[in-house]
Amino acid sequence: MSTERKLKILFIPLDGYGHINACAGIAEKLISRGHQVTFALERAWKGKASQYSDVKEILFVDKTRNPNHGANDHWIEFMDNFKKQFPLEPFDALKATNVELEEQFLYTLINVDDELTAIIAEYKPDVIVCDTYVTIPAVIKSGIPWVWLTSAAPLISLPSDDLPPSRTGFPTDGDRTIWAEFRALEMQIMEPMGRRFIQRLKQDFDLDPPPPGMVMHPSPYLNMYAYPEELDYLDIRPLPNKTWRRFDHFIRQTESDSTFKIPDEFLQQNLGKLVYVSMGSMGCADYDLMKRLIDILSKSPNRFIFSLGPLADRLKPLFGSNMFGERFVPQTAVLPLPILITPLFADQLDNAQRAKEKGYGNRVQPYTCEPQELLDMVEQLLNDQALKKRVEQLSKRLQSSNSTENAAKAIENLAAEN
């Protein structure tokens, strides 16, 4: 079933680049299919959705935040307090949890629930799409059909006793007694704040608790996530019910910088192979980490293209002759490639482990690895022809999968059925 009418669709993503970009991919397809798409964004993110063709924005103000912050500044400052956990092994990182900040994060969208309620009432969407980790009461109470679109790894949104705990990077064939020990410690540390959050949902919004161990209510209408079939956990844990849909990707078709070009003189250097380096929107804001990687990789015979983020002006003078970089590097200009994942926190650890155990790359701890270990891993991946062939085959399948188009159709079907 599909809908012939023009829909008004409101996206409410957690204000981070990964969440906004995942939503933007689907938004583009919905617009191309004749629908009106609007993003509700905190005012610091003005223009980050509307840079994509015909996407509209409604801005709100989170009064708990610094009014002088620009896009992502709040989260860079917030994550600075967690940096000491990044080099640690999972148990040690869990023991070092900053409970006060973790609990603060739970209320990120509850802090602006009144603002979101007003936006929903004024815009009157046919469907709401949320990409967040926690329940948004305004969405549930609106009575409007809504979608939980999760751009996080599926271990977070679909936990299972048959899979390792999320945010650990434990292997799927690992020791289950270790899984149980980790979950027990996690419950001991996290359960009190989760209980307070659930109490607030009941007292202030008259909402029943979310499923055990979660702080997000899955949608009764449609839940979707993006993870390639080759990497997903469906061989271990099937989807729980028909409201859940897996898609290969939510990749957007347009990049925000269409003028990007790798200089010919860099590409023509008589050096080794070309390697793309990105530490994500949080990692590239860590000067010490980026400096360490630049120092190590400058000793490699290969060439490196860095996505530098907000510290570009400080980092470029550190480059070796085998390096080029810009504040923003569109990934579509350099991918697909075999991947060496340098996970920092949260589901990055799970993604790294899954890519390794499924034979699409490897993982390394960027803060603590020996320099030669990193250099050797780069060489190993560059010279693994079987790996290169697997990645190329996966890339071709993903490019022909029509995944984002199918996600847009799923949202249309939801509107038609309700």
Contact 304, 322 (CB under 8 A): yes
pLDDT higher than 60, residue 80:
yes
Mean pLDDT confidence for 387-406 = 91
Mean pLDDT confidence for 138-143 = 97
- pLDDT tens track for 54-74: 999 999 999 999 999 999 999
Write phi, then psi, for 303 (nearest 5 degrees).
-105, 145
- pLDDT tens track for 191-218: 999 999 999 999 999 999 999 888 999 9
Long-range contacts of range 359-365, CB-CB < 8 Å, 24 or more positions apart?
Answer: 359/387, 359/390, 360/230, 360/231, 360/387, 360/390, 360/391, 360/394, 361/387, 363/169, 364/340, 365/87
Mean pLDDT confidence for 123-148 = 97
- Location of structure tokens 């269409």: 258
Mean pLDDT confidence for 379-386 = 93
- The predicted structure's pLDDT at residue 339: 75
More confident residue, 252 or 189: 189
- Class in CATH terms, 8-251+402-417: alpha beta
Contact 232, 244 (CB under 8 A): no
Nearest to 315 by CA among 301, 302, 325: 325
Mean pLDDT confidence for 180-190 = 97
More confident residue, 262 or 242: 242
pLDDT higher than 80, residue 124:
yes
- The predicted structure's pLDDT at residue 1: 41
Contact 39, 20 (CB under 8 A): yes
CB atoms within 10 A of CB 355: 21
Fold of 264-398: Rossmann fold (3.40.50)
Averaged pLDDT of the chain: 92
Distance of CA 194 to the CA centre of its chain: 22
User: CA dihedral in degrees (250, 254, 256, 260; nearest 10)?
Assistant: 120
Nearest to 182 by CA among 196, 169, 198: 169
51 vs 257: CA distance, rounded Å = 10
Every domain of the chain with CATH number 3.40.50.2000 lies at 8-251+402-417, 264-398
- The predicted structure's pLDDT at residue 334: 52
Task: Report strand pairing: 146-150 vs 244-247.
Answer: unpaired
Residue at 125: amino acid letter: P
% pLDDT > 90, the chain: 80
- pLDDT tens track for 268-301: 888 889 898 999 888 998 999 999 999 999 999 9
- The predicted structure's pLDDT at residue 62: 96
DSSP 3-state percent helix, strand, coil across the chain (nearest 5): 45, 15, 45
Please tell me the least confidently modeled range out of 21-25, 254-258, 273-277, 328-332: 254-258
Q: Which two tokens stand for residue 249?
A: 């990707």
Q: Which two tokens stand for residue 40?
A: 């509700």
269 vs 322: CA distance, rounded Å = 8
According to the 3-state scheme, what is the secondary structure of 267-281? HCCCCCCEEEEECHH
- Location of structure tokens 């948004």: 136
More confident residue, 46 or 256: 46
- The predicted structure's pLDDT at residue 153: 93
pLDDT higher than 60, residue 220:
yes
319 vs 295: CA distance, rounded Å = 8
- The predicted structure's pLDDT at residue 304: 93
- The predicted structure's pLDDT at residue 225: 97
pLDDT higher than 60, residue 5:
yes
- The predicted structure's pLDDT at residue 8: 98
Nearest to 119 by CA among 43, 211, 197: 43
- The predicted structure's pLDDT at residue 33: 95
Q: Interior CA angle at 412 toward 410 and 413, to 5°?
A: 65
pLDDT higher than 60, residue 257:
no
Q: Which two tokens stand for residue 114?
A: 């009144």
74 vs 97: CA distance, rounded Å = 19
